[in-house]
Amino acid sequence: MVNSGFSLKFTTEFTTFHEKKVVNRTGLCHAGDNRNIKKTPCFSGLFEYKKALSFMVRILFICHGNICRSPLAEFLFKDMVKKAGREDEFEIASAATSYEELGEPVYPPVRKLLSQRGIDCSGKRAYRMEKADYNKYDLLICMDSRNLRYLRNILGTAPDGSLDDPEKKVRLLMSYTGDLRDVADPYYSGDFAETWQDISEGLTALMKSFG
């Protein structure tokens, strides 16, 4: 915990998160100061702040069943940060919005795609996100708009009828590319190459957002 006199200059601003440290409109960080909070998150600012305080940035990738797209994103991003020498800066996991595949391993075609690139996903089993994960993770990155709708069953609904996401942690993966399109579900489309391309593009943009 930093003391009340601690301050840190940023080039960007970001929203509050569960460690209770926030940024005001001047870009100065003050522990416990919740005045003038800018509600539009900038995750590069979040990253620089957590890095300065030796916190890992925690990312949870989310899809419907947690056997195709979200584990693909999880293990591909783990490989990216490892190759960049930044493993100690991130905690990365994935989860489902449904119970349909609970406990199942990664779908064989996805395991094959990862294995062909030297990435091992053995031991991964489908996990359904819990409400407590909202406080555990800094970013909840969904593969499609249906995931966003189903998250309401887990996180609840805000008074205005929207997803209850007070800290603005929930994002679509492709939004990092400037495109709000969904990552197609290869479990139904059968086009794993297209899904790989979309996820690779989204993760590359996500990585760039951290500087």
38-97 pLDDT tens trace: 333 345 555 555 555 557 999 999 999 999 999 999 999 999 999 999 999 999 999 999
Q: Within 10 A of 88 (CB to CB), how many other CB atoms are there?
A: 10
Beta pairing partners, 142: 62, 172
**112 vs 64, 71, 141, 161, CA distance in Å?**
20, 13, 23, 41
Q: Which residues are catalytic?
A: 63, 69, 185
116-140 pLDDT tens trace: 999 999 999 999 999 999 999 999 9
Q: Within 10 A of 127 (CB to CB), how many other CB atoms are there?
A: 18
pLDDT at 36 over 50: no
pLDDT at 25 over 90: no
Q: Tell me what the pLDDT averaged over the chain comes to.
A: 81
94: Cβ contacts below 8 Å, ≥ 6 apart: 60, 61, 62, 63, 66, 70, 71, 73, 74, 124, 127
Q: Within 10 A of 27 (CB to CB), how many other CB atoms are there?
A: 16
